[in-house]
Amino acid sequence: MQESRKKGKVIIAGAGPGNEELITIKLQKRLAEADVIIMDRLVNPAIIKNHARKDATIILAGKQGYNDASATREKINALIVEHSLQGKTVMRLKGGDVAFFSNVLDELMALKQHQIPFEIIPGITAASGASAYAGIPLTARNYSQGVQWLTYNPNSSYTPERWKELAHTTDTLVFYMAAKNICQLTGHLLHYNEKADTSLAVIEQATTIYQQVHISTLKSCTNDFAGKDFSSPSLVIIGHVVKLHKEFNWFTTTGAGSIFQELEK
């Protein structure tokens, strides 16, 4: 009974794809209420700087692939539970949307286990932000019949049948967390795909003034991007809709740089 009286509330929220202006009004209100904000590394620091309470406790708990020193799921869950059981309003702030390739299920299970009340605030996911700011409609009529959201790294357990299916689909393919291994990814698709001229885009730091869009094709990817170190976050879009970028690219950027570095000066 004593633990129940101490319980606060947890807000699981999406901070959008990077541009500070793309957060929701609801998130803006909740940022002003939160006692503790546990944030991912890809959340634009300007969102915290301009919208969070000045006396809020900010905890950086970024989960990063290929980085063993980044926060573990268990540690993040423990932080959320610990602070909420102290009667605080805790915000778990994630880049993009809360449910696209994140560990939200683990966090929800931890909250349910401790009977901690929560709410979920969706955010604009990277695929929506990157495609919009690159002038690439993901399901443009006569270009694509649908869209698939995927991830890829060398340990991904796609079967040969699945690669064949992806190689022949008329859907737009959007790969999160794949830019680092773009050449291996396109190699798998080329193995089963006669449409080697299928267009692809790698979009760095989407929706920010540092956004860069790199255009290639499946067959040219290795020549164009071999040894290229794309900045994080980056998103990969594969499909004929990428051809629309040239005509409908509307967003003016500075190109080089990082919004995270700029805000740390």
| Whole-number pLDDT of residue 122 | 98
Residues 7-42 have pLDDT tens digits of 899 999 999 999 999 999 999 999 999 999 999 988
Q: What share of the chain has pLDDT > 70, as a percent? A: 91
Query: If you average pLDDT over residues 70-81, what whole number do you get?
Result: 91
- Is 133 a residue whose pLDDT tops 70? yes
- The pLDDT confidence band at residue 265, using thresholds 50, 70 and 90, is very low
| Whole-number pLDDT of residue 86 | 96
| Whole-number pLDDT of residue 1 | 37
- Is 249 a residue whose pLDDT tops 60? yes
How many whole angstroms separate alpha carbon 13 and alpha carbon 234?
21
CA dihedral 54, 38, 70, 121 (to 10 degrees): -130
Neighbouring residues of 109: CB distance < 8 A, sequence distance ≥ 6: none
Domains plus CATH for the chain?
2-124 (3.40.1010.10), 127-248 (3.30.950.10)
| Whole-number pLDDT of residue 65 | 53
Residues 111-122 have pLDDT tens digits of 999 999 999 999
How many whole angstroms separate alpha carbon 213 and alpha carbon 160?
30
- Is 2 a residue whose pLDDT tops 70? no
Query: If you average pLDDT over residues 41-56, what whole number do you get?
Result: 95
- Is 261 a residue whose pLDDT tops 70? no
Asked if 27 contacts 124 with a C-beta cutoff of 8 angstroms, the reply is: no
Question: Residue 16 corresponds to which tokens in the numbers above?
Answer: 């959008």
- For the chain, what is the mean pLDDT? 92
Q: Report the sign of the C-alpha dihedral through residues 255, 258, 261, 265, in that order.
A: positive
How many whole angstroms separate alpha carbon 187 and alpha carbon 60?
36
- Report the range of poorest mean pLDDT among 25-34, 49-58, 139-148, 191-200: 191-200
| Whole-number pLDDT of residue 6 | 72
| Whole-number pLDDT of residue 109 | 97
- Is 69 a residue whose pLDDT tops 70? no
Buried b (16+ CB within 10 A) or exposed e, 213-240: bbbbbbeebbebbeeeebebbbbbbbbb
- Is 62 a residue whose pLDDT tops 80? no
- Is 4 a residue whose pLDDT tops 70? no
Amino acid at 240: H
| Whole-number pLDDT of residue 193 | 84
Does 65 or 8 have the greater pLDDT score? 8
| Closest alpha carbon to 212 in 256, 249, 260 | 256
| Whole-number pLDDT of residue 63 | 59
**Residues noted as catalytic:** 40, 63
